[in-house]
Amino acid sequence: MTRRDGLSSSAVETLAGFTAGVATTLAVHPLDLVKTRLQVDRSSPARFGSSVQIIRGIYANEGGIRAFYRGLAPNLIGNSTSWALYFFFYGSLKEMACHYRGQPVHQLKSSDYFLTSGAAGVLTALMTNPIWVIKTRMLATGANSPGAYSSVISGVRHLYHTEGLRGFYRGLVPSLFGVSHGAFQFMAYEKLRALWPTESSKSEIFSNTAVSPSQKNFSVLDTFAISGMSKVFAGCVTYPYQVIRARLQILEAQMLYRGAMDAVRQVWTKEGISGFYRGLGPNLIRVLPSTWVTFVVYEHMKATLPSDKGKV
């Protein structure tokens, strides 16, 4: 896709990712809250219907509809910043890979996409973990719960005074492991875009021919299908790390777990395999709409913003 002179490709990636992160968070925050409550629940075994009980409890005991938007500020800051950084790093690393391979981006190997998206995920996780700790603690507790953070600023102050800088990096190990989720997702996403049949490429239906995605006209439904399939694939492979990360980021984590491996051992011993998939139901409901919103907004913004390059 040839664009007018304008922003650099990295700036386009960053702005598109930032906008996508904001739109996604506003759309699905209540489901994120329910998922977090399920992930940190140790009081009952994981079972079908737990989501409904959590929703009823929040509505009845924490202030009605408004309670489902607790923690929106850190979630909004975290998602918008994370997507902006992620797409900036990912776009820059893909350009480096193209230069190294001497090939256009659509001819990169699956391993190239996996490594560049994984590296982008590591860099993003290192820079944004502190806001995710605050977000998790706010979503895991009601506004009136003992020790609950009343705002992002109060959470930052309390965390720093009680746990120091180290506290801001709780759950970093499983978060770093979790970059494999993004790596699997973007590897699948890029390959599906290259192979996906559109009105402008009917003759290339799932062939092995490398077709530039920029030569195809992707509809919204195409983006829905490609992003949804890649997200489900990655989610099924990597979901357990999210449970471990959430357990390590709650307020009482210091008293409950000695580290990531101890959390894994305790979940396995006390809850079995199902414990690693707590919150999977609302997560599956959440990830598809959020993925659709993220990638539709991202692709639209990327196509709309004027760029000095056309190879992104």
For 16-68, the pLDDT digits (tens) are 999 999 998 888 898 888 888 888 887 766 665 678 888 899 999 888 999 99
- From 115, 78, 76, 91, select the one nearest 245 (Cα to Cα): 78
Sign of CA dihedral 15, 19, 20, 25: positive
Does residue 2 have a pLDDT over 50?
A: no
Sign of CA dihedral 18, 38, 51, 270: positive
Does residue 95 have a pLDDT over 80?
A: yes
Which CB contacts under 8 angstroms, 24+ apart, belong to 130-133?
Answer: 130/156, 130/168, 130/169, 131/74, 131/77, 131/78, 131/81, 132/74, 132/78, 132/171, 132/175, 132/249, 133/159, 133/167, 133/168, 133/169, 133/170, 133/171, 133/249
Domains recognised in the chain with CATH numbers: 9-304 (1.50.40.10)
Question: Which residue spans within 21-108 are E strands per DSSP?
Answer: none
- In this structure, the number of other CB atoms found within 10 A of the CB of residue 152 comes to 19
In order of 18, 117, 169, the CA distances from 86 in angstroms are: 9, 8, 18
Percent of the chain with pLDDT over 90: 34
Determine the Cα–Cα distance for residues 154 and 73; give it in Å rounded to an integer: 12
In order of 197, 257, 270, the CA distances from 176 in angstroms are: 34, 18, 25
Residue 69 sits at the vertex; the CA angle it makes with 64 and 72, to the nearest 5 degrees, is 165
- Report the pLDDT value the prediction gives residue 3, as an integer from 0 to 100: 45
Choose between 81 and 36: higher pLDDT: 81
Determine the Cα–Cα distance for residues 154 and 298; give it in Å rounded to an integer: 32
Q: How many angstroms separate the first and last alpha carbons of the chain?
A: 9
pLDDT tens string 160-208: 999 999 999 998 988 887 788 889 999 999 999 888 886 655 544 444 5
